[in-house]
């Protein structure tokens, strides 16, 4: 069987179409469409309000599904329109390819083979950003995006900005909040948060500056991307990471979590003990609202175990908060000249409120320090005992 025909049949079985968003890329559009037609006729073209000869070019492909938007609304919106149409046509997967000529349609079989092997997965074509001709701003922007994707999801990718992708349509969010270039960041981050696997696969890339038309506006679009990443980081820190931690803890149970994530870690006992101490200190100290970002930052700077530090920073989860506040006020009172009642009936003036707050702050830092030392030492002792028992079992086996 001809290779192209084989891919055609595989795409049919996988219910996979190709979406081509386009805006004023008349120089390369025909070449891209003809290249995709070598593998499938299930193509959805979204003309995002082009003002060049795009409409005339598309008139030569009457059998292809075409959507013509009156005004340019951004690549993200064009992709959303394409996804909606693909779902209406009962497709389960969609490959997106840019119309500016930088991608090679000949790489479509690579996506289909990975889809066949991996099942439901979001694939992103990984370009060789080190090759000659790649604009420096593209290389920098990609590294910038890769870092924030890792921070927001814990998943390391080599290329998060490539528009040559395969989306499992049932595994991506139904609603989005962005419409332009930043959309392609939002969709992979939120898909990863929902449990969708996101992976890079190698593809070819061509940067022909005589043909390629880029609609990326450095200042405006970089600002929009930065704002989006700020929002995503906040959501990751205050919701996603705590949610995932408690899900893992609930699924494994504390004993199994302790065995797998602490005892089986390759870090030294001292590093793990210090990680526990850091987490407990940050969890008890009065850094309300900033505990997660602070513990992750300090664990990174101090080269400690981020998973362990984050886990123990949750020592201040709701049932323990009253006990922490009570202990902090009690301990703080020992260091105050005029200690305040832990639970005063009322405040007579602002000075009394201020003294009560100072008493709490002093006590919380002291309590945090004491508990950090206790938990760190206890962790070290338990790890030593478990390690000794494990070594005895190995010798007796």
Cα 332 vs. chain centroid, distance in angstroms? 41
pLDDT in tens, 23-46: 999 999 999 999 999 999 999 999
Buried b (16+ CB within 10 A) or exposed e, 157-175: bebbbbbbbbbbbebbeee
State whether residue 172 is helix, strand or coil: coil
pLDDT digit of tens for each residue in the chain (397 aa)? 567 889 999 999 999 999 999 999 999 999 999 999 999 999 999 999 999 999 999 999 999 999 999 999 999 999 999 999 999 999 999 999 999 999 999 999 999 999 999 999 999 999 876 666 555 556 667 888 899 999 899 899 999 999 999 999 999 999 999 988 899 999 999 999 999 999 999 999 886 655 555 665 666 777 888 899 889 988 887 788 778 877 776 776 666 666 555 555 677 889 989 999 999 999 999 887 788 888 888 888 888 888 888 888 888 766 677 888 888 888 988 888 777 776 666 656 677 778 878 888 999 999 999 999 999 999 889 888 877 666 566 556 5
Label the pairing between strands 65-69 and 165-168.
Answer: unpaired
Whole-number pLDDT of residue 113: 95
Q: For residues 10 and 193, is the Cβ–Cβ distance under 8 A?
A: no
Label the pairing between strands 65-69 and 93-96.
Answer: unpaired
State whether residue 229 is helix, strand or coil: helix
Q: State the SS3 of 351-395.
A: HHHHHHHHHHHHHHHHHHHHHHHHHHHHHHHHHHHHHHHHHHHHH
Could you count the other beta carbons within 10 Å of the beta carbon of residue 364?
21
Q: Is 3.90.550.10 the CATH classification of the domain at 3-237?
A: yes
Q: For residues 74 and 48, is the Cβ–Cβ distance under 8 A?
A: yes
Count the alpha carbons within 13 Å of 118 in the hemisphere toward its beta carbon.
20
Instruction: Enumerate the β-bridge partners of residue 43.
Output: 18
Domain ranges of the chain: 3-237, 253-396
10 Å CB burial of residue 251 (0-12, 13-18, 19+) is exposed
pTM over the 0.85 mark: no
Q: For residues 127 and 207, is the Cβ–Cβ distance under 8 A?
A: no
Instruction: Enumerate the β-bridge partners of residue 124.
Output: 165, 200
Tokens representing residue 39 in the block = 């593998």
With the C-alpha atoms ordered 343, 348, 353, 355, is the resulting torsion angle positive or negative? Answer: negative
10 Å CB burial of residue 118 (0-12, 13-18, 19+) is middle
Instruction: Enumerate the β-bridge partners of residue 67.
Output: 46
pLDDT in tens, 84-121: 999 999 999 999 999 999 999 999 999 999 999 999 99
Distance separating alpha carbons of residues 137 and 301, to the nearest angstrom: 28
Count the alpha carbons within 13 Å of 150 in the hemisphere toward its beta carbon.
10
Element (H, E) at 20: strand 16-22
Whole-number pLDDT of residue 235: 87
Q: State the SS3 of 131-144.
A: CCCCCHHHHHHHHH
State whether residue 251 is helix, strand or coil: helix
Whole-number pLDDT of residue 64: 97
Tokens representing residue 179 in the block = 């419409």
Distance separating alpha carbons of residues 67 and 82, to the nearest angstrom: 8
Label the pairing between strands 16-22 and 43-48.
Answer: parallel
pLDDT in tens, 196-241: 999 999 999 886 655 555 665 666 777 888 899 889 988 887 788 7
């Amino acid at each position: 069987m001809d290779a192209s025909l084989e891919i055609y049949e595989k795409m049919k079985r996988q219910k996979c179409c190709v979406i081509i968003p386009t805006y004023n890329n008349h120089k390369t559009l025909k070449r891209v469409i003809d290249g995709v037609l070598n593998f499938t006729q299930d193509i959805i073209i979204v003309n995002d309000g082009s003002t060049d000869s795009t409409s005339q070019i598309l008139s030569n492909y009457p059998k292809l599904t075409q959507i013509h938007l009156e005004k340019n609304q951004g690549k993200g919106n064009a992709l959303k329109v394409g996804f909606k149409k693909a779902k209406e046509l009962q497709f389960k997967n969609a490959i997106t390819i840019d119309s500016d000529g930088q991608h090679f349609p000949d790489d479509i079989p690579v996506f289909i083979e990975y889809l066949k092997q991996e099942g439901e997965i979001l694939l992103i074509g990984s370009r060789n950003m080190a090759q000659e001709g790649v604009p420096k701003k593209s290389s920098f922007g990609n590294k910038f995006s890769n870092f924030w994707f890792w921070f927001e999801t814990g998943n390391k990718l080599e290329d998060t900005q490539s528009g040559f992708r395969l989306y499992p349509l049932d595994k991506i969010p139904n609603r989005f909040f962005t419409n332009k270039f930043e959309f392609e960041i939002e969709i992979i981050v939120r898909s990863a948060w929902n449990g969708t696997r996101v992976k890079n696969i190698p593809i070819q890339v061509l940067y022909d500056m005589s043909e390629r038309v880029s609609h990326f506006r450095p200042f405006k679009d970089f600002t929009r991307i930065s704002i989006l990443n700020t929002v995503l980081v906040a959501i990751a820190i205050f919701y996603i990471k705590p949610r995932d931690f408690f899900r893992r803890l609930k699924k494994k149970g504390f004993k199994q979590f302790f065995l797998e994530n602490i005892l089986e870690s390759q870090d030294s006992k001292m590093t793990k003990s210090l990680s526990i101490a850091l987490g407990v200190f940050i969890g008890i100290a009065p850094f309300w609202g900033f505990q997660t970002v602070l513990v992750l930052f300090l664990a990174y700077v101090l080269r400690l175990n981020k998973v362990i530090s984050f886990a123990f920073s949750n020592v201040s989860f709701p049932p323990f908060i009253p006990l922490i506040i009570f202990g902090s006020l009690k301990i703080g009172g020992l260091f105050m000249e005029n200690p305040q009642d832990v639970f005063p009936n009322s405040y007579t003036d602002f000075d009394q409120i201020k003294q009560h707050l100072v008493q709490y702050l002093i006590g919380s830092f002291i309590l945090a320090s004491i508990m950090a030392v206790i938990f760190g030492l206890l962790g070290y002792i338990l790890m030593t005992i478990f390690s000794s028992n494990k070594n005895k079992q190995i010798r007796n086996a």
